[in-house]
């Protein structure tokens, strides 16, 4: 790990409170390490309860001014932020790859541009809060709708897309006039801190965007349960999401939960086989499979099953693992040795109950560029067949570069199997038949269904799940619904002191 990528920019601390970096006061330190080789990226002091309280207090102080600002002024600040992010794009990409192990071509071409585009989108969305037109619905009053900011938002972001998830939390919240305290994963806090600094540099007032770096069980739970936090937004596993909901409900906070996924990839027998094979490889391996929308279980109609498996296996074997900063590297390490071991455990248990490991299924020693991979959290892309629908690798979120392929016969069976998990975040259907495609998009229970593609997202459209994948939307105009309160204002237009409806309470007409 080249330590100069990060430099000394975080030596002042890994908490961003009231417009400045400062050290955490918990007397506990944490080492952010490169999952590619275990090298130290940054040593950080973690947040104490007092640090969380200070961050919330800063956000609370900033709320009246920021929520009272015109939508136009908030839009202008976000426009400046988009320009700053564009100027610093290479810096953000380098730090993101250093702390997460992502290949530099992914951070350069996906993570950072996506974040910039999100920022530009919300700069426009800040000026477009929608509501029902004012009208005399009762005949005696004028009714109108106000959309108002909620207050201080406490957000918890995951480690798989540190920069993008920070943006997904911060942007709609502040575009709508809220202030925010964000807790990134302690494994990958650095680009969230850089994003907060960029917000200040764009002229967003001190205290509007705050970042606390700490453990979920301490800083995270303190933030969620804080009396001055009005809303909680969480992205992470379904199990932790349940805990977040329990804590938030104790003070009846609004909650927004984007949780786990187990996306089906349904290939009908009239699909373009080459397109489906290439789509499955890209969709299952993006971010080393650490993506809640990644294709994890492919259902392939029996006529195409063998050729699909052979095609995916061939491409899996050609995927290049290596130094994340080598622009030719396709697949980086998992985020940590712990996560790699978790993925390997799923595969090893599948072997134990008779699965066929068609490709991968092991930790590699050398990369395509000669890099020693034994110090990192690498795992070969793994293709599994020969298991039933009730198998652990089919039902549970693995969060790694593992694709399970199962056959189906009728269209009804394929769609039934696609829906047969607790999750419902994303899915795809592969067919040349318009009616098949429409049926799949109608019947698959997921927040996003792609047809003949899998993974692309756009700022203008919402992201969020069904069932155990949570509720609420990120991105798009729909996300502003999550971060605003709707108020009905009803004003008498008659100027009458004695109204007919009063007589239903007292007196006679």
Active site residues: 258, 292
Residues with Cβ < 8 Å from 193, sequence gap 6 or more? 10, 14, 16, 21, 211, 213
* Spatial CA neighbour of 405 closest among 342, 312, 478: 312
Transcribe 30-97 into DSSP letters: EEEE-TTT--EEEEEEPP-HHHHHHHHHHHHHHHHHHHHS-HHHHHHHHHHHHHHHHHTHHHHHHHHH
Tell me if 93 sits within 8 A of 107, measured CB to CB.
Answer: yes
Rounded to a whole number of angstroms, the distance between the first and last alpha carbons of the chain is 84
| Cα-only R_g, the chain | 25
Q: Is 1 helix (H, G, I), strand (E, B) or coil?
A: coil
The secondary structure element, H or E, covering residue 406 is strand 402-408
Q: How many residues does the chain have?
A: 509
Q: Where are the alpha helices (DSSP H) in 332-477?
A: 337-352, 392-395, 411-418, 434-443
Question: What is the rounded CA–CA span in Å between residue 417 and residue 421?
Answer: 8
CA distances 11 to 7, 19, 43, 337, Å, are 9, 16, 8, 26
């Amino acid at each position: 790990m080249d330590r100069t990528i990060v430099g000394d920019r975080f030596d002042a601390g890994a908490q961003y409170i009231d417009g400045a970096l400062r050290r955490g006061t918990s007397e506990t330190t944490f080492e952010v390490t490169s999952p590619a080789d275990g090298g130290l990226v940054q040593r950080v002091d973690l947040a104490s309860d007092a640090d969380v309280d200070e961050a919330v207090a800063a956000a609370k102080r900033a709320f009246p001014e920021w929520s009272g600002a015109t939508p136009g002024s908030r839009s202008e600040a976000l426009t400046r932020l988009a320009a700053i992010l564009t100027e610093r794009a290479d810096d953000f990409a380098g730090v993101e790859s250093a702390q997460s192990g992502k290949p530099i071509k992914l951070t350069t071409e996906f993570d950072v541009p996506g974040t910039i585009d999100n920022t530009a989108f919300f700069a426009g969305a800040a000026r477009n809060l929608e509501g029902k037109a004012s009208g005399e619905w009762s005949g005696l009053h004028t009714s109108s709708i106000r959309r108002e900011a909620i207050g201080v938002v406490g957000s918890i972001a995951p480690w798989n897309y540190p920069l993008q998830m920070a943006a997904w939390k911060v942007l709609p919240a502040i575009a709508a006039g809220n202030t925010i305290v964000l807790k990134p994963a302690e494994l990958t806090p650095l680009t969230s801190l850089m994003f907060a600094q960029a917000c200040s540099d764009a002229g967003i007032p001190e205290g509007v965007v705050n970042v606390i770096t700490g453990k979920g069980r301490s800083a995270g739970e303190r933030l969620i349960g804080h009396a001055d936090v009005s809303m909680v937004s969480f992205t992470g596993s379904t199990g932790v999401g349940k805990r977040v909901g329990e804590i938030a409900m104790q003070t009846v906070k609004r909650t927004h939960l984007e949780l786990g996924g187990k996306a089906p990839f349904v290939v009908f027998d009239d699909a373009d086989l080459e397109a489906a094979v290439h789509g499955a490889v890209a969709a299952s391996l993006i971010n080393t499979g650490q993506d809640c929308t990644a294709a994890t279980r492919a259902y392939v109609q029996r006529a195409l099953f063998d050729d699909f498996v052979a095609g995916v296996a061939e491409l899996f074997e050609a995927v290049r693992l290596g130094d994340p900063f080598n622009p030719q590297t396709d697949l980086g390490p998992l985020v940590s040795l712990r996560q790699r071991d978790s993925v390997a455990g799923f595969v090893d248990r599948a072997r134990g109950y008779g699965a066929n490991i068609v490709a991968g299924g092991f930790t590699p020693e050398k990369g395509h560029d000669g890099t020693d991979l034994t110090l990192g959290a690498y795992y070969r892309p793994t293709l599994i067949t020969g298991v039933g629908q009730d198998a652990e690798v089919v039902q549970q979120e693995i969060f790694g570069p593992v694709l399970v392929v199962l056959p189906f016969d009728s269209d009804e069976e394929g769609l039934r199997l696609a829906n047969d998990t607790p999750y419902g975040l994303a899915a795809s259907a592969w067919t040349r038949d318009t009616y098949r495609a429409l049926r799949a998009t109608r019947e698959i229970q997921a927040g996003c269904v792609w047809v003949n593609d899998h993974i692309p997202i756009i700022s203008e459209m919402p992201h969020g799940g069904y069932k155990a994948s949570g509720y609420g939307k990120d991105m798009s105009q729909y996300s502003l619904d999550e971060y605003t309160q709707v108020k009905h204002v009803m004003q008498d237009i008659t100027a009458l002191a004695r109204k007919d409806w009063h007589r239903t309470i007292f007196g006679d007409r």
